[in-house]
Amino acid sequence: MTGERLGLRPETVKGYLRSAMRKLGALTRLEAVVAARRAGLLP
């Protein structure tokens, strides 16, 4: 599902992504995915 379909602006989605990456201690999107998987947040 895209942010557009949810009625979210690109800046809002980027802010959510930055927040999630910060909470996961990730500097890149790849690091965020790896950290989320290790934490059991993603399959």
Q: What is the pLDDT of residues 1-10, one digit of tens each?
A: 678 889 999 9
Of 10, 2, 42, 3, the C-alpha closest to 24 is 42
Banded pLDDT at 27 (limits 50, 70, 90):
very high
pLDDT at 10: 93
Give the Cα separation of 19 and 28 in Å (integer). Answer: 12
Evaluate if residue 42 carries a pLDDT over 80.
yes
